[in-house]
Structure formats: C-alpha cells, structure tokens
Structure 1
Amino acid sequence: MNVSEKTNLRQRLDEPGAIYMPGCYDALSAKLIESAGFEAAAISGFALEGAHLGGPDIGLMTLTELVEQSARITDAVNIPVIADVDTGFGGVQNIHRTVRLAERAGLSGIHLEDQTLPKKCPLLPGRKVVALQEAKDRYAVALEARSNTNFIIIARTDADIIGYDEQIMRANEYLATGVDCVLPMMIELNGASFHDLPPDKQMRHIERVVTDIDGHVMYVGPPPGGYTAFDLGAIGVKLISLSAGTINAAATAMMIALGELKSTGRVSLFQEKPERLEAGSGLLQFLGVDFYLDLERRFVRD
C-alpha cells in the first residue's frame, strides 16, 4: 500500500487519544504488530541494529541499510510506520537526503535527535548534544526536505544529560521550528537516574514534562513499574513507542526454545501450545503462503 493510502499519521496527531506504536525491526515483526490491532509501528534503531547487524545501538547502521529495511517493512503492512534515523547520518546535506529517502521508502515519519556524532545509545554513558542552533538547523532542513507535510518530523532531545530546564527549553525551541512532535529522553534527571525514582514519581515527572512542553510529546520505552501504556496516554503522552519490547520478547522466546532444544532435543515451546503461532504451517499461513500458492496454481504451466 502506498504511504498516501495509509492512515494519515499527521492528522491522527491532532485527533483525540494516544497512538501506541510497538517497535518493529523486520517485515514479520511489523505484520505481527498490525495483526495485533495496533494502528502504527515504529522501527527501532536498537532493534534494527541488533537484529540485522548483531551489534549494539551505537550508530553502526548505514542510511542505505536503514532505507532498504524500511522499504521491506512498509511494503508488508497497511499501517503507518515511522523510523529512528539517529542524527540523520551526517550534516544538513545528509539529513536532507535522509528525509527524501525515508519518504521514498514509504515511511510516514522519522525521529531525529540532537546528539553529537558518533551517537550513543541512551542506556550507555557518554551522550553529548550539539549546540541549540545546530540542532534547530537539523530540524529546519528536515522540514524543508519533506515533500509531503503529512510526513511527520519528530525532534528527539537528549538534553536530559544537562538538566530538566535545558531539556524543556530545547523541546519548545524545536517545536517552534515546526516539527510535529518532540521526544524528550528520560534517562537522567538533574544528574541522577530517572529509572531509580519510585514509579509514582516517574509518572509525575512524565506528566510534568507533558504539561511544560507546548506540543505533542512522544515517549519511548516501557511505562514505569505498575503502570501501563494506557496510563501514559491518560496523562497526555501522544505517541507511545514500546520500541525494544518486541525484540526482547523474540530474543527471550528464542533463547528458551534453543536452550530446550540443546538440552532435551525438543521444542515444546510452540509444539505443545496450539494457541500460539506455530513455526511451521501456522507461520506460513500468517505470512500469506496461500496467495502465492494461488498465483502458482493459476499461472505456472506444467
């Protein structure tokens, strides 16, 4: 399906209700997200580099690799998909090209960050951000590069490493450039670990962020302990991306199945659970094998 025929994510931003976007990293994970009833998916940089390069989220993937995989994903589903493009793969010229190629790959949007090069996974030490004006220039060129205003630009800021006031100031400055949404990372809070806070305080902080930012806010990661993604939506978070949840679930399931196979020679994880998607015929059916068998039956001559 052409991106223009998919749900208008830009329009959806201005409609009531949060948008829940699990993270995908290949066509199968995207199809599973769609099958589960989610209205959008987010290509996770963390998951993409882990699944396709076997490496950590430190900016190893090239623009070409990202675009190729994005095109496969968007071609497989009828829901809008956004992608993590890190720092845009270089300077403003590269950012301009990144946006153009992202549109061409069928994506419905990107999130672009204000980190320095080389970027760092927010879970790793050593993150740094560029000067405010340089960051604003990144978002300005991304906005200029898009050919369709329905293609959303999300500005991610890692200024939590500096402090709360800096992060909120940057988020609002980025919104003033015209971006559609901001993604304030919540790893540090005034020099301490955000995730060391009690869950109730984490939620109050997220609500404060939403209140202090003058536009749509995106949140990435699992909700605080004891809370749900729906609770995040209830306090005003607009885009909620459970980015690493799918690859963590997949890797955990594979580790369990492989461990059982190695120790017992059996794979009962899916063989003895008929309610689950079986790796044989069940998965083939899910992936649309009947469509291709029908083509073969109608058009292949003996």
Structure 2
Amino acid sequence: MSLRKLLERENSILVMPGVYDALTAKIAEHVGFEAIFQTGYGTSASMLALPDFGFLSITETLDTARRITRAVDIPLIVDVDTGYGNPLTVAKLVEDLLRIGASGMFIEDQVWPKRCGHMRGKEVIDSNEYVQKLKSAIDAKKGNSEFLIVARTDAAAPLGLDEAIRRGKLYKEIGADIVFVEAPHSIEDMKMVSAQIDAPLVANIIEEGVTPNLTASELLDLGYKIALFPLSGLYSSTYAIYNTFDTLKRTGTTKSMKEKMMKFKEFNELVELDKYMKMENKYA
C-alpha cells in the first residue's frame, strides 16, 4: 500500500520505526511495519560513529536510501536534514529520491550545520528562505502525489511554540503534505499544535527526549497521524552489541549471551538465504 493511502485511513495512526541500513529496514518489514523512516541521526551514528551534528553528506544519505529501497518493499521516508544546500540542491535531491524509489522525505528549517531536534542550541533560518526550498521540492516531484513532503520546523526551541505553529501553518499552505513541529515539551504543547494546524501531523518520540513518551494510541487521540520512533532500534542494537562485546572482552566467550542473540538459522531466514541457495541450485 502506498504511503499516502496508509495515511488516508480513518481513525488510525501510522507507526514508523527509524531504520539506518538495509538490515534494520528488513527487520522492520519482517515484524510487520507498513512503512519506515530513514533516520539521519541513526545513519550518522552507524556510518560515521558521529553525532547528528551536521556531519552527514547528501551522498551518504542517498546511498543509504538506495540500499534500503533495494532491500524492502514497504514505503520509505528519508530524513534529508536541511536539504544540504539551496533550492537547487533540494530539487536534485527530490529527483534522486524519486529514482531510488523513496516514498517521501523530511526537510527541516534549521541553520546548517543542523543538530538533532532534541539537542540544545538549535537555530532556524528565516521562514521565507525555507519556503523557497519547500517550493523547489514540490516543483521537483512534478505532481507525483505518491511522494510525500514532510515540512519540519525546529522553531519552537529558539523562537517559541507560537512561531513554530505559524511556520507549520505556512508550510502547509505552501503545499507540504505533512507538517512536523519538532520537540514540543508537553502534552499541552502537542494539543496546541494539533488544534491550530490543519494537516497530517508527525509526533517524534525519542526515549528520554524532550517530547512526552506517549503511545501510538495516545498520540492518535491528540490528533497526530504519524508516530515516529526514530532511535529505538539504534539504541537497542547499540546496547545489545556493546554488552555482547564487553562480555566477550571480559570473559573470552559469549556463552552467557547466547539466549540474547538471534540464532544462526533465524538470521539466515531473515536474509532469505534459502531463496538464494535455491537459485544457486537452479543455475548450477
């Protein structure tokens, strides 16, 4: 099902986990998620071992998206940070994402180099400057209604929630498909956003982030259409790998970790080894 059709379902919220490579995307598809989000934070961490602090390049983002869309058949929305430049850069980025087979993108109004939306010290560009990027993205998709543009504003932290809401309403008027007001600090803030912006809305849930850690059903009740959990997989996998490696270093064995690992056979099933062994036999 297309991303647009998933969002058009009544009385439902689309839960999207953050993925950062082909394997995490495959896992998300395998357990039953209907759509996924390529997290810039997770891509920067997994590819570069660096924080979400503006280090990720357009090439690294696109290469990751290409590998993910080749690995799965569910819709992918890609975090493209600020668009990596000016309106011309944004237009090319949209064209590249369409060729790759992505279903949409998040683009934000932070000053470059950006930082994670739940970090301190954020700055935003003038809303008129962002509008030019947004218009360029809308033009570049050439009427493709299946490619969705999520307009994200980080204005709440530096300029206040009222300005963030003003920007969200403006971005919707310009033609954004979805609006994302990043990092509201309370349920009351979230209610204000949903009451004043007439658009499908994103809630970004980061464990121990600044936004209340609500469930998908609670977010639906507040008027949100997408429940984004961008870092849950990254934090879980990092915790598991760190503890396994630490145990191996300290004890010289992983026997005590065996029950916390996916089994050899299970992993091979996940990456469809049997499919390729059958192909090998067919063409032997």
TM-score band, normalised by the shorter chain? over 0.9
**SS of equivalent residue, structure 1 residue 104:** helix
Unpaired runs of 5+ in structure 2? none
1:22–1:41 CA contact under 8 A, matched in 2: yes
What residue number does 1:180 align with?
Answer: 177
- Taking the TM superposition and a 5 Å limit, the aligned residue runs for 1:1-12 are 7-12=1-6
Unpaired runs of 5+ in structure 1? 1-6, 188-193, 195-201
Is 1:295 aligned with 2:279? yes
Out of 9, 18, 22, the residue aligned to residue 27 of structure 1 is 22
**SS of equivalent residue, structure 1 residue 272:** helix
What residue number does 1:252 align with?
Answer: 239
- Residue deviations 1:82-127, cap 9 Å, x none? 0100010100100000111111111100000011122122233331
Is 1:215 aligned with 2:202? no
- The residue type paired with residue 152 of structure 2 is R
> Structure 1 CA distance, aligned partners of 2:259 and 2:25?
26
Indicate the RMSD between aligned Cα atoms, in angstroms: 1.7
How many residues are paired up? 278
What residue number does 1:150 align with?
Answer: 146
Is 1:235 aligned with 2:222? yes
Is 1:166 aligned with 2:160? no
What residue number does 2:125 align with?
Answer: 130
User: What TM-score, normalized to structure 1?
Assistant: 0.87
How much has 1:13 moved relative to structure 2? 2.1
1:18–1:236 CA contact under 8 A, matched in 2: no
1:95–1:141 CA contact under 8 A, matched in 2: yes
How much has 1:225 moved relative to structure 2? 5.9
Is 1:204 aligned with 2:183? no
What residue number does 2:35 align with?
Answer: 40
What residue number does 1:197 align with?
Answer: none
- Residue deviations 1:16-57, cap 9 Å, x none? 111000000011101111111111100000000000111111
- The residue type paired with residue 159 of structure 1 is A
Q: Which sits farther off after the overlay, 34-43 or 53-62?
A: 53-62
- The residue type paired with residue 24 of structure 2 is S
> Structure 1 CA distance, aligned partners of 2:160 and 2:89?
29
**SS of equivalent residue, structure 2 residue 228:** strand
How much has 1:130 moved relative to structure 2? 1.1
> Structure 2 CA distance, aligned partners of 1:8 and 1:296?
33
> Structure 1 CA distance, aligned partners of 2:279 and 2:70?
19
- The residue type paired with residue 158 of structure 1 is D
Out of 250, 258, 265, the residue aligned to residue 281 of structure 1 is 265
> Structure 2 CA distance, aligned partners of 1:269 and 1:149?
51
> Structure 1 CA distance, aligned partners of 2:18 and 2:253?
30
**SS of equivalent residue, structure 1 residue 112:** strand
- Taking the TM superposition and a 5 Å limit, the aligned residue runs for 1:16-165 are 16=10, 17-147=12-142, 148-160=144-156, 161-165=158-162
- The verdict on how the C-alpha distance between 1:234 and 1:267 changes in structure 2, with shifts beyond 3 A counting, is farther
**SS of equivalent residue, structure 2 residue 81:** coil
2:16–2:33 CA contact under 8 A, matched in 1: yes
> Structure 1 CA distance, aligned partners of 2:190 and 2:136?
29
- Runs of 4+ aligned residues of structure 1 deviating over 3 Å after TM superposition are 222-227
Identical pairs, percent = 32
User: What TM-score, normalized to structure 2?
Assistant: 0.93
- The residue type paired with residue 22 of structure 2 is A
- Residue deviations 1:189-246, cap 9 Å, x none? xxxxx2xxxxxxx223212211111111111124766742321122221111100110
